[in-house]
């Protein structure tokens, strides 16, 4: 009887220790409609969800992001192998940004209305919030053009500074998951050169890149470009 009790206590102790001891806490969510260019040049709708959060158990404790469209019950479950993680220099050891811009609608447009968004850890602890996706009068084409040649990327747009004051270069790894986001200020309305060999030198693990322009509720994302030979 004593041996059975000790065995049960040992199993319980192991299970207790294997469970998460800290809940994830969302500090700053970023949710917006994304107009994404496919590799064939079409513009499709996606939902972009990135969550700045803290978890004392670390990044390894992340389990899922769950997104539910409340009016219809549509649900997207984003697992750890389908998200990108980022940290910044001013972040504490257990503070991260996790998310994805690949949440696709069942048809052609993301359904409008209220969404419930939750992050969960391996112990099934959650932190959640609600977000309302509103109707937006968005362009049906990208508000910029990209030319890539001779180890250089050129951004072009005549009216870009009327709507945007910065652009993002998203660097992707060999698996085409984002590994670095570099923010840059827009200085004028002319052509903006991006030297790809400098990006390769600065971020040796990058294999591909995308360009993104964003506002608080909407973003425009280019197709994926090869960063060049390594």
Here the CATH number for the domain that contains residue 43 is 2.60.40.2160
* pLDDT for 142: 85
In a domain, 9, yes or no: no
Cβ atoms within 10 Å, residue 101: 19
Same structural domain, 158 and 116: no
In a domain, 91, yes or no: yes
* Last residue of one domain, picked from the residues 76, 102, 133: 133
**What is the layout of strands, in order, in the sheet containing 113-121?**
74-79, 62-69, 113-121, 126-133
Domain that holds residue 217: 145-226
Q: Mind listing the pLDDT tens digit of every residue in the chain (230 residues)?
A: 544 444 444 444 444 444 546 899 999 999 999 999 999 999 999 999 999 999 999 999 999 999 999 999 999 999 999 999 988 888 999 999 999 999 999 988 999 999 999 999 999 999 999 999 999 877 778 888 899 987 899 988 755 556 777 889 999 999 898 888 898 887 766 678 899 999 999 999 999 999 999 888 999 999 999 997 54
In a domain, 70, yes or no: yes
* pLDDT for 158: 57
């Amino acid at each position: 009887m004593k041996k059975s009790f000790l065995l049960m206590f040992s199993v319980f102790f192991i299970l207790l220790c294997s469970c998460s001891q800290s809940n994830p806490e969302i500090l700053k969510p970023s949710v917006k409609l994304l107009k994404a260019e496919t590799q064939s040049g079409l513009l499709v709708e996606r939902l972009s969800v990135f969550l700045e959060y803290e978890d004392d158990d670390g990044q390894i404790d992340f389990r899922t992001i769950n997104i539910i469209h409340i009016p219809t019950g549509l649900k997207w479950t984003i697992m750890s192998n389908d998200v990108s993680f980022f940290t910044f220099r001013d972040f504490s050891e257990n503070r991260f940004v996790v998310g994805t811009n690949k949440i696709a609608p069942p048809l052609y447009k993301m359904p409008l209305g209220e969404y419930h968004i939750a992050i969960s850890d391996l112990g099934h602890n959650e932190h959640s919030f609600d977000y309302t996706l509103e109707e937006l009068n968005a362009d049906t084409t990208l508000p910029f053009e990209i030319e890539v040649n001779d180890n250089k990327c050129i951004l072009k747009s005549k009216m870009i500074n009327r709507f945007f004051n910065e652009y993002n270069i998203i660097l992707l790894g060999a698996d085409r998951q984002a590994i670095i986001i570099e923010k840059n200020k827009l200085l004028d309305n002319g052509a903006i050169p991006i030297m790809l060999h400098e990006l390769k030198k600065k971020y040796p693990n990058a294999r591909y890149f995308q360009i993104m322009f964003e506002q608080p509720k909407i973003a425009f994302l280019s197709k994926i470009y090869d960063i060049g030979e390594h």
